[in-house]
Structure 1
Amino acid sequence: MRKTIKLLCCLLLPFLAANQATAQQQLALQLNPGEDNPRNSEGDFITLKNGRILFVYSRYTGTSTSDHAPAYLAGRYSSDGGKTWTKTDEVIVEKEGDMNVMSVSLLRLQNGKIALFYLKKNSETDCIPMLRLSDDEAKTWSAPVPCITDKKGYFVLNNNRVIQLKSGRLLMAVAKHTTVDGKWQGKANLYSYFSDDNGATWKPGAEVPNTTDIVTQEPGVIELKDGRIMMFIRASGGYQQLSYSNDKGETWSHIEKSNIQSPLSPASIARIPSTGDLLLVWNNTPGKDRTPLTIAVSKDEGKTWQHVRNIESDPQGWYCYIAIHFTKKKDVLLGYCAGNRPRRTHLSVTNITRLSQKSLYK
């Protein structure tokens, strides 16, 4: 009898664990490529005042999956906290640039308006972040305003990257990839741009110092509890790099190696509203591939990370460009590229996965 009970326990435990994991993590939406739609990528979320959640992403057209292929911004809605989503796309921003518009950041401003940031790409030497505002809950948008006017070049602003500080300042970090002679280079010069008038005008911060051979790309920023700004940076060398600002993003410290092991791939960091801790989502690997996709929590402002767990672990997968959004129901939505290397869909598939905030600590 005891042997039978022991056997039943051995059989039931994996089943219970699997069902617990399913309850804690749900694939809510998968945007696969199709006819005249070779790629869906780099999106972000906003919760509207009526409770609906809007996800805006880069929807490519034609046959090419290149970053420079035609694309417009499309939207899907959820009325149940991110569990289910509308079946068809709504055009949010038509293709404006000579190449495309892509890479979305959405932000609820302190004045109640919604800010929509995206890249307008005209050529391999002309790519600039743009801003539109909505005062009617994303029904209509203002005319676009360029966020960089003091320099020309190819500037990368990742999705889900713009923040508003407690002071009200809007802050973004960008990577400039063109040299003086106009050629594209992998090692980018990193800058911050900020606005103290809700996006009407923008000013440049100082360049982030980097006297090393480390390749720096695709930065993001997070405001720490002590008032400093931490910039986290996609970098070569097997780790994310960091830089800090003591003056709200106007000047920066020299880059330094973090404790976040990573390939040359972007990470995302956001503050968990229910606890005040930091959530990190990234590729936790010493290799070159963008798999697995891992989450971790920091209770000490990024000094250490715990509760480390993979949410995607397919060895043939390709996970990156993460958007983090916390819902009113104390869940967290993650929107990210989730392609497959053998099928060559690296950046073509976008997943929206829903987790409970409690499950981040398990």
Structure 2
Amino acid sequence: MKIESKNFRQICFVFALILVSFTELLITACSVTKNKENLSAFSPKTVLKLNSSNNNPRNSEGDFITLKDGRIMFIYSRYTGSSSNDHAPAYLAARYSNDGGRTWSSEDEIVLENEGGMNVMSVSLLRLNNSNIALFYLRKNSTIDCIPMMRISTDEAKSWSDAVPCITDKKGYFVLNNDRVIQLQDGRLLMAVALHQLPRGKWKDKADLYSYFSDDNGKTWHSSSQVPNNTNIITQEPGLIEMKDGRLMMYIRASGGFQQLSFSSDRGQTWSHIEPSNIPSPLSPASIERIPNTDDWLLAWNNNDGSNPLIKGERTPLTVAISKNEGKTWKKIKNIQDDPDGWYCYIAIHFVGKEDILLGNCAGSQSQNTHLSVTAITLLNKKWIYE
């Protein structure tokens, strides 16, 4: 059969278009697959899990510090005996990583024996502007005597100074969460605390919130005025972050379905009345830190607005998000753990090098009743978060 030259050219042209389109689709598919594979390489990885065991019923929340020799130190509360209760005996123990958090030592090193009538717990570690390391923790003597303490190391955590109480103007049961102490650009040390009970008072779930600050590297501490709250919203376990304009933002574990906020324009001496944030949350603490060398904030929390009846009020999932406008909006929202049986909270954030991030948090199971008894360390990469 004879084909006219013009028709033949048209057929060839159409075939060429089909071939080009198919090639483009194939390249796109390969590119997507490759991107997924590359992104998968940066996916979160659990690099250490501290499970409970005989005579060690709970391994609880802690914090990280990078030492000058490159090692990363993680200090947490190691409980002893048979009880995992908040008031059961515990001492401070450490694990180390020599490779940026990818692997960890297998044995505990005792950092601080139990010097409290009940325990020592809730660690914050901070590299001070003078290069010393500050260790903060709660010394819990009783349900009416729990005070944040500070020790200093001048030899890279080989030894520690005597303890200095961070609250001396009041007595009572104060809560300072792990990874909560900050140093402002001007050198002021700041912590946010929740007062639940006075020596002759009754326990209050709706805690009185304060910040305490030091301008002499922790030798002496002073109290702010109380954070105003004339609502019925329960406020607990506050944290702090410094803003670009010099203000401070306090973010607060709260009832009502959202984290609450308060602001200070005088370096933490007075605070605004609490107000709801745009962070949906059960009654569970969040953590917010600025990503080094950027203006971006990293948020880690339970992204649970209560709309799912299966997990309403529970501390799951464990989620991260990024804000480029100091918390006005949150983007890149991703779940790290989403097991509905999980219990994820008391999160420490630590930045490693230019790309990696470590999260340390309680990671127990509701069905196994190990809620706060298990602590996990997760290695993240910025590429995974920002994709």
Aligned partner of 2:246 among 227, 230, 253: 227
The 3-state SS of whatever aligns with 1:21 is helix
- Do 1:179 and 1:185's aligned partners in 2 also have CA atoms closer than 8 Å? no
The 3-state SS of whatever aligns with 1:187 is coil
Quote how far apart the aligned CAs of 1:358 are. 2.5
Query: Who is 1:303 aligned against?
Result: 328
1:24-46, CA deviations, whole angstroms, 9 ceiling, x for partnerless residues? 32111111111111111110000
Percent of pairs with identical residues: 66
In structure 2, what is the Cα distance between the partners aligned to 1:108 and 1:353? 22
Quote how far apart the aligned CAs of 1:15 are. 10
Aligned partner of 2:218 among 199, 203, 207: 199
Query: What is the TM-score normalised by the length of structure 1?
Result: 0.95
State yes or no: 1:261 paired with 2:286.
no
State yes or no: 1:214 paired with 2:238.
no
Could you say if the C-alpha distance between residues 80 and 213 of structure 1 is closer, same or farther in structure 2, counting changes exceeding 3 Å? same
Q: Which runs of 5+ in 1 are unaligned?
A: 1-5
Could you say if the C-alpha distance between residues 35 and 259 of structure 1 is closer, same or farther in structure 2, counting changes exceeding 3 Å? same
State yes or no: 1:81 paired with 2:106.
no
Aligned partner of 1:270 among 280, 289, 295: 289
In structure 2, what is the Cα distance between the partners aligned to 1:145 and 1:330? 35
Number of equivalent positions: 358
In structure 2, what is the Cα distance between the partners aligned to 1:142 and 1:197? 16
Quote how far apart the aligned CAs of 1:185 are. 1.7
Query: What is the TM-score normalised by the length of structure 2?
Result: 0.89
In structure 2, what is the Cα distance between the partners aligned to 1:14 and 1:71? 48
How do 1:179-194 and structure 2 match up within 5 A? 179=198, 181-194=200-213
Query: Who is 2:19 aligned against?
Result: none
Quote how far apart the aligned CAs of 1:179 are. 4.7
Quote how far apart the aligned CAs of 1:22 are. 4.8
In structure 1, what is the Cα distance between the partners aligned to 2:360 and 2:251? 19
Quote how far apart the aligned CAs of 1:182 are. 2.6
Query: Who is 2:125 aligned against?
Result: 106
In structure 2, what is the Cα distance between the partners aligned to 1:251 and 1:58? 32
Query: Who is 2:309 aligned against?
Result: none
Aligned partner of 1:174 among 189, 193, 202: 193
1:275-321, CA deviations, whole angstroms, 9 ceiling, x for partnerless residues? 32000000001220000000000000111000000000000000000
How do 1:330-341 and structure 2 match up within 5 A? 330-341=355-366
In structure 2, what is the Cα distance between the partners aligned to 1:185 and 1:222? 26
- Do 2:188 and 2:217's aligned partners in 1 also have CA atoms closer than 8 Å? yes
Quote how far apart the aligned CAs of 1:356 are. 1.2
State yes or no: 1:315 paired with 2:332.
no
Query: Who is 1:149 aligned against?
Result: 168
Query: Who is 1:36 aligned against?
Result: 55
Q: Which runs of 5+ in 2 are unaligned?
A: 1-24, 306-311
Query: Who is 1:3 aligned against?
Result: none
Amino acid at match of 1:190: L
Amino acid at match of 2:217: N
The 3-state SS of whatever aligns with 2:371 is coil
Aligned partner of 1:344 among 359, 369, 374: 369
In structure 2, what is the Cα distance between the partners aligned to 1:209 and 1:171? 18
Report which of the two has the higher share of strand.
Answer: 1
Aligned partner of 2:269 among 244, 250, 255: 250
Query: Who is 2:183 aligned against?
Result: 164
Amino acid at match of 1:305: W
- Do 1:125 and 1:183's aligned partners in 2 also have CA atoms closer than 8 Å? no
RMSD of the TM alignment (CA)?
2.0
The 3-state SS of whatever aligns with 1:184 is coil
